[in-house]
Amino acid sequence: MRRMPPYHRSLQRSQMTLTVLFDLDDTLLHTNMPEFIPAYFGSLGQTFSNLASPKQIAQQIQFAVAQMEANQDPSIGLHEIFSQNFYPPLSTTEGENTETLTKFYRDEYPNLQAVTGQVPGVLDLIDWCRSQGAQMAIATNPLFPETATRQRINWAGVHPEDFEFFSSFDNFHFTKPNLTYYAECLGRLGWPEGHVIMVGDSLTHDLLPMETMGFPTFWINPPEDNPGRPHGSLSAVKSWLPEITSRAPVELVNTPEVNNAILRSTPAVLDSWIKENNGTAFTVKSSPAEWNMTEVLWHMADMEAEVYLPQWQQLLSDPSILLSAPDISQWAVDRQYHCRSITEAWEKFVTARKKSLFCFEEIDQKGLFQTTIQHTIFSYATVSELVAFTARHDRIHLRQCKGLLDFYKIY
């Protein structure tokens, strides 16, 4: 369907890389949520007492959090959603409260550490994972700002720098237990090949979504004696991981639900990368023949707007139509991807992708995912197979972009 640029070997991760996603609260840190959340809300209520009563502040926080949890738009970050829904009803703005919040998280929030406690074996497990060359990320529900999550990681006795990232409402677009949240996590890791593991204490928020994607999980201190899946204390994870890595890595589950989550998360991942890195990172190449990140994103944008989206629209109009694809082999050169704006590429990509996502909803409503269609490239294929191909295309290029960003940071 397209001619791919050479994929430089320096950007390829080992096939047997171990990737571990850790939940934070009541996994790496005994957060004691039944006490922590009321204390947190109470402290915030006192901080904002000039705006409303502590009860009203707590209610407004809960409302804003509910809007974050409901988000399905990959172009809007959680921080923006919270600000839009928390401050206006209180007749104020985020800007007017920046200094107050900075002071709160510097002077008041640290007092909440007294409610929490360290979990035995945390540092030993993290050190062991690092010694095995594992890449690790903290996949905590991103309902807190970056500074609040960073402090809790420190309270756990580990270093935030030991992890590829930790999710917060400052760098994520989706929340748990949304499958798209986990796709966003894995996208930020460059869709790692090899073993991918989730370790957490919540069946619904940590384990089931990752199991839906096909990945093994470990349940920390489950409430039942026999939960029917690997479980135990955090210290037991260390002895369980070699058992998992001795087997062949599992395949990502190929279902419309999983592929839809991947396709929805991709613009979000790219949005974060663009915001977190400077322009030089988007022009670096690991070899003269390799695309840079700007070229990759323009390729993705033009493919989405001019190949994939028209394909879904044609399918909805007439499933019996013969689908064709244009010759894109010279687009990168003819359209001069290398000297164009990466921000404009992302805007084109996310605009077209959101239209594609609406098409998927209609395809699902009409029960067309298993419909066989004719295609000039694939001959005969189901709609579900075409969606899976598109999701795979996303994963390939996110892996490529992550490799380029890593290359830039090293050199």
Q: What is the pLDDT of residues 105-124, one digit of tens each?
A: 999 999 999 999 999 999 99
Token pair for 404: 């380029």
What stretch of H or E contains 118?
A: strand 117-118
Q: For the chain, how many structural domains are there in total?
A: 3
* Mean pLDDT score across all residues of the chain: 94
Kindly state whether residues 263 and 371 are assigned to the same domain.
yes
Is 3 inside a domain boundary? Answer: no
Give the residue from 372, 390, 389 showing the smallest Cα distance to 381. Answer: 372
Kindly state whether residues 23 and 125 are assigned to the same domain.
yes
Q: Tell me the residue range of the domain where 341 lies.
A: 254-410
Kindly state whether residues 170 and 214 are assigned to the same domain.
yes
Kindly state whether residues 131 and 236 are assigned to the same domain.
yes
Predicted confidence at residue 4, as pLDDT, reads: 35
Kindly state whether residues 326 and 366 are assigned to the same domain.
yes
- Averaged pLDDT for residues 147-176: 98
Is 12 inside a domain boundary? Answer: no
Kindly state whether residues 288 and 394 are assigned to the same domain.
yes
Predicted confidence at residue 14, as pLDDT, reads: 40
Burial category of 367 from C-beta neighbours within 10 Å (exposed 0-12, middle 13-18, buried 19 and up): exposed
Q: Is the pLDDT of residue 142 over 80?
A: yes
Kindly state whether residues 221 and 276 are assigned to the same domain.
no
Burial category of 172 from C-beta neighbours within 10 Å (exposed 0-12, middle 13-18, buried 19 and up): buried
Which among 114, 137, 168 is the end of a domain?
114
Provide the percentage of residues in the chain whose pLDDT is more than 70.
Answer: 96
Q: Please, are residues 21 and 141 in contact by the beta-carbon 8 Å criterion?
A: no
Which among 114, 149, 182 is the end of a domain?
114
Global confidence as pTM = 0.94
List the CATH number of the domain containing 189: 3.40.50.1000
- What is the rounded distance in angstroms from the CA atom of residue 206 to the CA atom of residue 124? 22
Q: Is the pLDDT of residue 335 over 70?
A: yes
Query: Reduced to 3 states, what is the DSSP secondary structure of residue 253?
Result: coil
- Averaged pLDDT for residues 281-286: 94
- What is the rounded distance in angstroms from the CA atom of residue 33 to the CA atom of residue 25? 8
- What is the rounded distance in angstroms from the CA atom of residue 350 to the CA atom of residue 166? 24
Which among 245, 280, 309 is the end of a domain?
245
Residue reference for tokens 């209520």: 45
Q: What is the pLDDT of residues 389-406, one digit of tens each?
A: 999 999 999 999 999 999
Q: What is the pLDDT of residues 164-215, one digit of tens each?
A: 999 999 999 999 999 999 999 999 999 999 999 999 999 999 999 999 999 9
Kindly state whether residues 124 and 62 are assigned to the same domain.
no
Q: Please, are residues 270 and 258 in contact by the beta-carbon 8 Å criterion?
A: no
Is 4 inside a domain boundary? Answer: no
Query: Reduced to 3 states, what is the DSSP secondary structure of residue 171?
Result: coil
Predicted confidence at residue 396, as pLDDT, reads: 98
Q: List the alpha helices (DSSP H) in 304-341.
A: 309-317, 331-334
Is 5 inside a domain boundary? Answer: no
- What is the rounded distance in angstroms from the CA atom of residue 305 to the CA atom of residue 331? 13
Give the residue from 159, 163, 165 showing the smallest Cα distance to 134. Answer: 163
Q: Would strands 231-232 and 195-200 be described as parallel, antiparallel, or unpaired?
A: unpaired
**DSSP readout, 123-157?**
HHHHHHHHHTT-EEEE---S-S-HHHHHHHHHHTT
DSSP character for 375? E
Residue type, 312: W
Kindly state whether residues 275 and 393 are assigned to the same domain.
yes
Q: Which region holds residue 336: left if phi is over 0, alpha if psi is between -120 and 50, else beta?
A: left
pLDDT-based confidence at residue 325 (cuts at 50, 70, 90): confident
Kindly state whether residues 404 and 271 are assigned to the same domain.
yes
Predicted confidence at residue 411, as pLDDT, reads: 61
Predicted confidence at residue 189, as pLDDT, reads: 98
- Averaged pLDDT for residues 29-42: 96
Q: Is the pLDDT of residue 16 over 60?
A: no
List the CATH number of the domain containing 322: 1.20.120.450
Is 13 inside a domain boundary? Answer: no
List C-alpha distances in Å: 62 to 148, 172, 375.
Answer: 17, 18, 48
Give the residue from 201, 188, 106, 200 showing the smallest Cα distance to 151. Answer: 106
- What is the rounded distance in angstroms from the CA atom of residue 83 to the CA atom of residue 315? 39
pLDDT-based confidence at residue 12 (cuts at 50, 70, 90): very low
Is 155 inside a domain boundary? Answer: yes
Kindly state whether residues 261 and 361 are assigned to the same domain.
yes
- Averaged pLDDT for residues 230-241: 95
Q: Please, are residues 153 and 146 in contact by the beta-carbon 8 Å criterion?
A: no
Kindly state whether residues 272 and 373 are assigned to the same domain.
yes
Helix and strand numbers, DSSP H then E, in the chain: 15, 10
Is 1 inside a domain boundary? Answer: no
Is 361 inside a domain boundary? Answer: yes
